[in-house]
Amino acid sequence: MKRSIALALACLACLATAPAPARADAGALALTAPSAVLMEKSTGTVLYQQDAHTQYEPASVTKVMTLLLVMEAIEAGALSWDEMVTASAHACSMGGSQIWLKENEQMSVADMVKAVAVASANDCAVALAEHIAGSEDAFVQRMNQRAQELGMEHTSFLNCTGLPAQGHVSCAYDIALMSRQLILYHPAIRAFTTIWMDSLRDGQFQLTNTNRLIFYYEGATGLKTGSTDTALYCLSATAERDGMELIAVVMHAPTSDDRFDSARTLLNYGFANYALTPVYPDQAIPPVPVLLGQADTVQPMLARDCVLLLGKADGGTVTTEVTLADQVEAPVEAGQKLGQMTVYVDGVEADVVDLVAPAAVERLTVGSIFRELLDGLFLRAS
């Protein structure tokens, strides 16, 4: 049996909105870049798009995927920050943006990630790739596999640097997908992507971030620039304000200034028009009785945070409805579903969050049941 408890939340000054693709492609924003996407990090919602699925060369924005695989290797324990990486002749031969590694020079993973994130170092990107996968080709196979897993349908990687190669292509939407994966699940990368100036080799080699937004855009958190003669100017820019982080991807901009101006326009649009609003029940959720449990009740909790992406210009009402089981029988496992909270915006369902047990409740043993009976008898006798 179920019981429903309607828990009304206070009226909020926002309404959840799904950006219309027609509006996103209508050219409402003054962008000089032909291809662009604006995505909100936590929900993955596309807030604006313009020619988002056309393939272009991504140049060094490719390194977002390289950094993602490095971070995933660290998270998996297959790589550590202080591990030393030895530069191969192949890595040192890359050209383009680099820190001029010498063959057999050793540098820590942390320093190489810094060089890639701040200075777009091709030599360090290849050295990391070889260290993780044994060769750049093997690493590129992993890049393409990960791209498929993320739904990057218009992307084909041929190297880990973004140096020109026929058939090495991506699109603004795909770049937003991999950028979101990196910043959402590996926030430690921000320690590198927010660096404006730093150094390597005991201060003897100076680094300056290729992403000028880090210097002058409020809340900028990253992420990666790219440019070649054929790719023109590309950028995956991330910024956070009031707890909301946005991803602005720009491809094939005619000049460096154009890519930064276009990214700034996208970010300004997002911050001006949208906000993240956390949703909670406005009353305490009652405990659920436990039959034959070592505890009489279990207190439900939200299985995850509930946050709505809401349009600032629209007014509406957010309400919740909590549904709980009348009772559960022990044993109760930690994380066991006890009910759910359904979230509505102006009466339209916007989210459903499970309510779960925060800790296990063990079942009473025969001995403990017998002791409880005896305790009850003694209490009645007294």
- 162: tokens are 């973004």
Q: How far apart are CA 321 and CA 28, in angstroms?
A: 38
Active site residue 2: no
Residue 293 amino acid letter: G
Half-sphere exposure at residue 370, Cβ-oriented, CA atoms within 13 angstroms: 3
For residue 221, report the phi and psi dihedrals to the nearest 5 degrees.
-120, -5
Catalytic position from the list 35, 41, 60, 97: 60
Note if 63 is an active site residue.
yes
AA identity, residue 165: A
- CA–CA distance from 340 to each of 181, 323, 346 (Å)? 27, 5, 19
User: d(Cα 94, Cα 126) in Å, to the nearest integer?
Assistant: 8
- Quick check: helix, strand or coil at residue 226? strand
Tokens 């090495």 found at:
168
Instruction: With beta carbons less than 8 A apart as the criterion, state whether 97 and 186 touch.
Output: no
Q: Among positive and negative, which fits the CA dihedral 47, 48, 51, 57? A: negative
Choosing from 35, 41, 63, 179, the catalytic residue is 63
> Annotated catalytic, 114?
no
**CB atoms near residue 257 (< 10 Å):** 12
Catalytic site residue from 120, 170, 179, 227: 120
Query: Mind telling me the catalytic residues?
Result: 60, 63, 120
